[in-house]
Amino acid sequence: MREQEERARRRNKNLTISLTVIGVFAVVLAAVFVVNRVSGSESAEVAAGESRFVRADSHKLSVAADGKVTLVEFLDFECEACRAAFPIVEDLREQYAGKVTFVARYFPLPGHFNAERAARAVEAAAGQDKFDAMYQRMYQTQSQWGEKQVPADEVFRGFAKDLGLDLAAWDKAYNDPATLERIKKDVADGQALGVSGTPTFFLNGQKLEPQSVDDFKAAIDAALAS
């Protein structure tokens, strides 16, 4: 009986998301959530100059003038693995400033109660040129509102207030169906590209699955050198 309990304890432990941000970057397969099709989110046609990786309205955290290397992340603000990856991505943005374009795409998972709300909050802030600030705030505060089964609308509104946004305009955008459709468009593109969990990275259109920070840098350096 004790042996069975120990095996059960180990199985439960293995299901825990355990990304560490100290020298190691691992996208843990156990942390991947299967994404159901979102009704009304059929992948839109790809316009000239666009791709399913980067749309004209995609949010670029950093931009390389030569456009040679682009790193795209499909993310969920309530995902613990995404939060663990966040400081690594921030370090990469600093290290490769002006050399790599970093793009953030929404991919809220159905199993996360406030993930879609968080995406709407960030998109509403983007309308006032505060995408990056709200994007960062979500990860910095995830432990306060994530993994809870109560709406975090007022929490997110508080973030908008703290950032000095026009709250009337933010409220309107947060509740606008067009904002949700904008998020669904990202989800649909991700699904079309085979994304099933977060974070999922693509480097110049190729899925990137680094097992360490060094792997991540090596892939970027190779792309820059090619």
Q: What is the 3-state secondary structure (H, E, C) of 156-213?
A: HHHHHHHCCCCHHHHHHHHHCHHHHHHHHHHHHHHHHCCCCCCCEEEECCEEECCCCH
User: How many Å apart are CA 173 and CA 115, to the nearest integer?
Assistant: 17
Q: Can you give the pLDDT at residue 32?
A: 39
On the CB side of 60, CA atoms within 13 Å amount to 16
Over residues 181-202, the mean pLDDT reads 97
% of residues, the chain, pLDDT over 70: 80
Alpha carbon 63 to chain centroid, angstroms: 17
Helix, strand, coil abundance in the chain, percent, nearest 5: 45, 10, 45
Q: Can you give the pLDDT at residue 42?
A: 54
Pick 174 or 21 by higher pLDDT: 174
- Ranking 28-32, 99-103, 146-150 by mean pLDDT, the lowest is 28-32
Global pTM value: 0.82
Over residues 160-189, the mean pLDDT reads 98
Q: Can you give the pLDDT at residue 37?
A: 38
Mention every residue, 6+ apart, whose C-beta is less than 8 A from residue 13.
Answer: none
* pLDDT tens column, 1-37: 544 445 444 444 433 333 343 343 444 333 433 333 3
Task: Return the number of other C-beta atoms located less than 10 Å from residue 17's C-beta.
Answer: 14
Over residues 197-222, the mean pLDDT reads 95
* pLDDT tens column, 52-64: 999 999 999 999 9
Backbone angles phi, psi at 91, to 5 degrees: -65, -40
Q: Is the pLDDT of residue 167 over 90?
A: yes
DSSP sequence for 40-69: T-PPPPPPTT--SS--TT-EEEE--TT---
Q: Can you give the pLDDT at residue 88?
A: 95
